[in-house]
Chains A and B, each alone.
Chain A
Amino acid sequence: MSLPNILRRAFFGAVLGSLALLPAVAAPADEQYFPLQSYRVGPYAAGGTGFFGGFIDYLNLIDIRDGGVNGVKLTWDECETQYEVERGVECYKRQKSHAGIAAWNPLSVGIAYAMIDDVTADKAPLITINHGRTDSTDGRVFKYVFPLLLNPYSETSGIVNYIAAREGGQDKLKGKKLVVLYHGSPYGKETIPIYQLLAEKYGFSLEQIEVPHPGNEQQSQWLTIRRAKPDYVILRGWGVMNPVALKTAQKVGFPVDHIIGNVWSNSEEDVIPAGDAAKGYTAITTQASGAEYPVLQEIVKTVYGAGKGNLEDKKRIGSVYHNLGIVNGILNVEAVRIAQEKFGHRTLTGDEVRWGFEHLKLDPARVEALGAKGLFHSINVSLANHEGEGRVTFQQWDGAKWKVVSDWIAPDWALLRPIIEKSSLAYAKEHSLPVRDPAVEEATN
């Protein structure tokens, strides 16, 4: 055999060999993709980096430790939104062409509102954990939208219940004065009517004061508060507004232990910049902070040990936003796992993952099995209830770390449900959407 012949054979052999390999390359392994509309720059970067850092860390844990969910690898990419609606919409259009989308998690009320029509048309779930449009709790109307764990109304009810407990019972609220200091954004304004409703129900007087976005100047608002002399100030802030509020409160002499933070005013990033002024400040949360939970230990060992950790500053591991990202990761991954049990261990469509979210039931035993006992309580999502009866707890800042100061408290869902349904049914009528009947759908599914 001459040399050219050998070369020719080698060449054809290589061609044939690569042809044989082609199908393996062309058919991708099963993957489930998470489009992340994250924000790592801009005024809300602290929340964005912590939350998306935790989310990515948990997805990484599942990939590295378990090789994905039942062999289906989890993938993701990030698109920077800067918490701006137009950017979020652009990211949505950019990322939606990717195959195998599991769920959208924009972590912005404005962006979520702008996506509701599109996700409904594209049949993909939209997760707004601990925030979002309250009436989307009614899954009969908002089929693809999930304000998981805690919608703004439940949060409000939880805070008022906590204040009542501190005062010695709900009848003690009568005649008390509460001020709500809220962020001048759709997120901040969402709870205005529900505070009014609770004020009427329990007989406390109420003043709601707006802080314009981003909230780095609050002198006049706190002077108003000083004049009003309320018993409690509820801080419904976001980003830089929170430390500024605590510092200004100190300046005008309002006692910090009578300021109660809401679920987006409860992080280390909110209190550390305020220094001494934050000592004794209490805030609501759905997930405890700290890195002692087994799932966090595994993330530290497996993910950060492999050099794949997402947080640049390792001190933030176990912080409130990081833990919220991890809880969000758990809920997303478990929804995929639950849907896989019904539809098969493969890449699922968005609509199938939506079914998974609608059957996302994690009791305290399952939460413990996931290594998250004490990190969050439980969740019980159904077709009609897209929030899932999340419990809340309260933690107090001691100057170095958060300390839990209450049990897991249940908001007053029965009181809130009729208001939610009134609003969602009005939305259904305005947009001529069908109202799903849980009994009928569960029978056919």
Chain B
Amino acid sequence: MSDIAIKTGRRSLPGLSPQAFGVAALLAIAFGVVPLVGSEYLFDALLTPFLVLSLAGLGLNLLTGYTGQVSLGSSAFMAVGAYAACNLAFRLPGLPFLVDLVAAGVIAAAVGLVFGLPSLRLRGFYLAVSTLAAQFFVQWVFNKIGWFSNDSASGIVTPPPLSIAGIAVTSPVGRYLFTLSVVVAVTALVWRLVRSPTGSALIAVRDHETAARVIGIPVLRTKLLAFAVSSFVIGIAGVLWAFAYLRNVEPAGFNLDRSFQILFIVIIGGLASLRGAFLGAALIVIFPLGLARLGDALLGGLFDSGVLEMSQRVVLGLLIIVFLIAEPAGLSALVDRMTRRITPWITPWITAGRA
């Protein structure tokens, strides 16, 4: 009962609920403060990969979290996006990069649609296995057919330097800001989508397919739509990975490990939650690096780097288990619980500030 009361309370303060306030503050810091104080390491090694994998997690969350279709092919769709953008840039050099970006997303969506077809017949584990086909097939194609990698002998493609509207983006800050802008824009679109009737249809399909069909939701179309939109978002993440983060593309970079990494981001962050993708990516991407640096600083002189690496894995694994036991619904639910405790304390402050 009280839960509902809080939720309706939030609705009555559009734009200034604690949640919206938090998002606005985060964006202000990410766009306004971080670029001024951050170092090259922060941008190139932490924030850019974090943002890109958050976006990939967001894409997978649409499919797995909202629509209930498990996929192990996420990194294949990242690869499609990355290779598509590279080839567009090489072969049609006249196109502006933003067009490449969207086109690469559309190509990834088309490929996702094809590999989504088995979902019309298969569910659960069986579907997961069939998405593995996408994973292996795509990697194999890029490895085998030299045309995709511009006939480079080693199979590594170096994409042309990032340049938007004629301005070359070469600095780490520039790449970070570009990634951030794209991630924010795509996240906003996904946010609109999940709040729309289509978003409700996705959830209805997840919760009970038969019931969804009974109330008139076109289940097959909804599933394919989920595959297409999810692959679009993941494809965009792949483009950013290739152009803004590594600036290097090779098929092995998009292997099954990466697919699992994205799946774990979604599961640990929280299924069916936009925030979950970001929280999960933070835990999977940033936290191990922090741990590595801490371990290095404290114990670097005592053990060699291999021993340190192994112990960090143990710590990370334990933490993941602890998190999931404490809150099986993921970090997002954990944060929800915390904010629910804090909200009654903060709300008066915000309303006071408004008045």
Contact = CB atoms under 8 A, between A and B. Distances in A.
Interface residues of A, number: 40
Given A109-B154, A113-B156, A41 B252 contact: no
A80 B309 contact: yes
A40 B311 CA distance: 13
Given A40-B305, A77-B300, A213-B252, A114 B247 contact: yes
Contact of B156 (A38, A110, A213, A310): A110
B44 A78 contact: no
Interface string A183-217: 01111011111000000000000000010010000
A80 B295 CA distance: 12
Contacts of A210: 143
A82 interface: yes
Nearest to B293: A94
Interface string B245-261: 01110101100000000
Given A90-B289, A113-B248, A186 B309 contact: no
B143 A110 contact: no
Given A40-B305, A77-B300, A213-B252, A86 B49 contact: yes
Given A77-B300, A80-B306, A133-B154, A89 B41 contact: no
A370 to B, nearest CB: 27
Nearest to A115: B248
B30 interface: no
Contact of B306 (A49, A113, A189, A213): A49
B155 interface: yes
B154 A40 contact: no
A134 B289 CA distance: 32
A85 B45 contact: no
B288 to A, nearest CB: 10
Interface in A38-55: 38, 40-41, 45, 49
Contacts of A86: 49, 246, 253
A89 B153 contact: no
Nearest to B49: A86
Contacts of B158: 113, 117, 431
Contacts of A49: 306
A227 interface: no
A106 B270 CA distance: 37
Contacts of B154: 109, 113, 133, 186-187, 189-190
Contacts of A78: 304-305
Given A94-B293, A113-B158, 16 more contacts: A38-B305, A40-B304, A79-B296, A80-B292, A82-B309, A85-B246, A110-B250, A110-B253, A113-B248, A114-B247, A184-B252, A186-B155, A186-B252, A187-B154, A189-B153, A310-B304
The 3 closest A-B pairs by CB, nearest first: A40-B306, A186-B154, A93-B45
